[in-house]
Structure 1
Amino acid sequence: MKIPDRYSLENLLTALKRPSLVLSEANALGTKLNINLQDKLNYPSGTDIPGRDWDNLIILDGCRYDMYAEHCNIEGELEKCRSSGSESWEFLQNNFQGEQHHDTVYVTANPHAPKLDSDTFHAVENLLDEYWDAEHQTVRPEDVADAAIEIYQEYPDKRLIVHFMQPHFPFIGDTGDDLEHKGIDLHREGRESTDAQVWMNLKYNRADKELVWKAYRENLEVVLPHAERVMESIPGKTVITSDHGNLLGERTGPIPARGYGHPRGLHAEELREVPWHVIESSERRSITADPPVNSEDLDSEIVEQRLDNLGYK
């Protein structure tokens, strides 16, 4: 069995000086074991997103149900639903991959979207190039909202999915601007250091949990007005949901390891319980399916870079 690069003599000596690193590594190994163990258990499947009734589906990336329920004041009927993934690509695969939804247009700031088959939707508007904010290393919610409203004018007879990146890291609120997102300095073969995102820093006790929670909450507060603007600007029945949540050190199972971020294939309430917020409308759109239109392919180097920027690598 190949020993991971991080289990070097240098890191062992560092761990002896900082025992908390040993506990953090034990938690990481426990999480991996839980994923493997849970794969053999019969967990309930997630909500069938395409099969539910909606004209506009707003996805707030990485939004926990409990945080949304506490801080969202948009009128409507809010309930929990179970996501079919604990990270974005798992969510997209389980809901859309291998299927054809030619009555739907997908407007997205998520870097996993280009992995979907080209004929999955009638059209895809990927915002990762033209609307990329280099300073904050994400696509800002106001740009997603502007693009969605414009795209609706072009496709008024299609269901519309609008995928915001917030409240997902990177954090763009006031607290997020002051919060150090990077900094863990574990030596690895061929690399002097890693540019670790915030969940990794939490895992290795390099970030304050209360500050991270505040910055995460602010990201939700930043995106909600723009989600509401989309809802108010585009007619039809709107649902606000999320692809997955986030762990901030909660215990997972069956091994009681603390989890961080949103590992793929992990079943935990904080990851799988997401909002399903229905905003009814007296004005429903007439939806039709048509053959897919050609969407401009996003350069693979840009996709890889955005995955890295957003903490997926």
Structure 2
Amino acid sequence: MAIWQRYTPQNLIRLLRNPELIRGETRRLRKDAVNTNAYVSRLVNDDTRMDVMAEDWDNLVILDACRYDLFTARADFGGRTTSKLSPGSESWEFMQASYVGRELHDTVYVTSNPHAYKIPDGTFHAVVNLLDDDWDEETRTVLPETIVERTLEAHERYPDKRIITHFMQPHYPFLGEKGKELDYAGIEMQLDEDEIKKDPHPWNALQYRETTNVSGIVAAYAENLDIVLPHVERLLNELPGKTTITSDHGNLIGERTYPIPVRTYGHPRGLHKRELLEVPWVEIDSDERRDVKAESPEEGDEMADDVIEDRLRHLGYAE
């Protein structure tokens, strides 16, 4: 709805009579500003973005939305640990730059990320998408132990392929005790009184001032990383070959951005700020390397649109 249609005399009177609607409309205007092209800007003018598919590895482990500083403070797998810049600030932007338009027929992609359904058929040799049969209704995500099992099964089935394992953690939903204690979901009031929307996404709740519990949400985010790390360790122990650990993008936890100098949370698409793009890059060598072969792609399973939309919504993505 255009702004001139929203601010009719009748709606302005309703706003003045109902303070809740004023607060809700303020949040809505803030959200609109965050989503404008003026705000979504390229703050890192650096052409040295990582190309994960051009790197030398047998197994690539992706931790979704994992900041470099968070990882280095809490994880130690040995190997060579550096940082790289992701080509995107959210998952689909990363996937577009890394996968789309290429023939990656020597690679199997095991994924719990809902944006993977957008990758064109025939890109990988095979895609093992866990969002349907392996979705956990209670936590509303794919559990890390599940993706480990499916990755090991994929290696047994495709022993001569490179394997990408895309965990959803440390991305929300938060699985630990700190995450379960959070009460961050607010109510966003719209101009129409019957349009009341609950937003369960913690970073959006911080961004739009539904909550001020920054420390609690950041602690739950760190806890989610702690939860997934032992499962990464299991893959390192059981998968042969050279393994690289990285992330598709980082996550802002209150850094100020430009040109609107507001504190920003989450990972808005197109916001190319260094703290959001900088991700860990850990290389763990192995004497046992895989003899990789490219073969024609297998036909993938179709997933219903309503299932995709449900998974995106529960993982905090707006489509």
TM exceeding 0.5: yes
Q: CA deviation at 1:16?
A: 9.0
> Are 1:29 and 2:33 counterparts?
yes
For 2:54, the equivalent position in structure 1 comes to 51
State the secondary structure of the residue aligned to 2:94: helix
Contact 2:114 2:312 in 1 (8 A): yes
Q: CA deviation at 1:64?
A: 0.5
Q: 2: CA distance between counterparts of 1:125 and 1:53?
A: 22
> Are 1:89 and 2:95 counterparts?
no
Match of 1:195 among 186, 192, 199: 199
1:50-87 Cα offsets, whole Å, 9 max, x none, are 00111100000010001001000211111010000100
Q: CA deviation at 1:205?
A: 4.3
State the secondary structure of the residue aligned to 2:71: helix
Taking the TM superposition and a 5 Å limit, the aligned residue runs for 1:1-313 are 2-3=2-3, 9=12, 14=19, 22=26, 26=30, 29=33, 32-38=36-42, 42-187=45-190, 189=192, 191-203=195-207, 204-313=209-318
Most deviating of 193-202 and 3-12: 3-12
Most deviating of 7-16 and 126-135: 7-16
Q: CA deviation at 1:177?
A: 1.2
Q: CA deviation at 1:23?
A: 8.2
**How many pairs are equivalent?**
311
1:175-224 Cα offsets, whole Å, 9 max, x none, are 11111252233226563223341111112141400000110000000001
What residue identity is the alignment partner of 1:2?
A
State the secondary structure of the residue aligned to 2:170: coil
**CA separation of 1:6/1:38 partners in 2, compared to 1, >3 Å: closer, same or farther?**
farther
What residue identity is the alignment partner of 1:142?
E
Q: 1: CA distance between counterparts of 2:171 and 2:191?
A: 27
Q: CA deviation at 1:112?
A: 0.4
Contact 1:252 1:258 in 2 (8 A): yes
**CA separation of 1:176/1:231 partners in 2, compared to 1, >3 Å: closer, same or farther?**
same
Most deviating of 107-116 and 25-34: 25-34
- Mark the runs of 5 or more structure 1 residues left unpaired by the alignment: none
1:238-284 Cα offsets, whole Å, 9 max, x none, are 00100011112210124322211111000112210000011111111
Q: 1: CA distance between counterparts of 2:5 and 2:187?
A: 15
**CA separation of 1:16/1:115 partners in 2, compared to 1, >3 Å: closer, same or farther?**
closer
TM-score, normalisation: structure 1: 0.91
State the secondary structure of the residue aligned to 1:112: helix
**CA separation of 1:36/1:75 partners in 2, compared to 1, >3 Å: closer, same or farther?**
closer
Q: 1: CA distance between counterparts of 2:226 and 2:87?
A: 25
- Mark the runs of 5 or more structure 2 residues left unpaired by the alignment: none
Q: CA deviation at 1:42?
A: 4.7
> Larger C-alpha radius of gyration, 1 or 2?
2
Q: CA deviation at 1:18?
A: 5.7
Q: 2: CA distance between counterparts of 1:140 and 1:223?
A: 9
Q: CA deviation at 1:301?
A: 1.3
What residue identity is the alignment partner of 2:42?
Q
Q: 1: CA distance between counterparts of 2:263 and 2:4?
A: 21
Q: 1: CA distance between counterparts of 2:4 and 2:173?
A: 27
**CA separation of 1:205/1:153 partners in 2, compared to 1, >3 Å: closer, same or farther?**
same
Contact 1:149 1:234 in 2 (8 A): yes
Most deviating of 234-243 and 248-257: 248-257
1:90-114 Cα offsets, whole Å, 9 max, x none, are 0000110111100000000000001
State the secondary structure of the residue aligned to 2:312: helix
1:21-53 Cα offsets, whole Å, 9 max, x none, are 8589548625635445539x8543520110011
Q: 2: CA distance between counterparts of 1:85 and 1:4?
A: 35
State the secondary structure of the residue aligned to 2:187: coil
Q: 2: CA distance between counterparts of 1:4 and 1:290?
A: 57
Q: Percent identical across equivalent pairs?
A: 46
Q: 2: CA distance between counterparts of 1:225 and 1:103?
A: 28
What residue identity is the alignment partner of 1:275?
P
Aligned CA-pair RMSD: 2.6
Contact 2:39 2:259 in 1 (8 A): no
State the secondary structure of the residue aligned to 1:166: strand
Most deviating of 21-30 and 93-102: 21-30
TM-score, normalisation: structure 2: 0.89
Contact 1:105 1:121 in 2 (8 A): yes
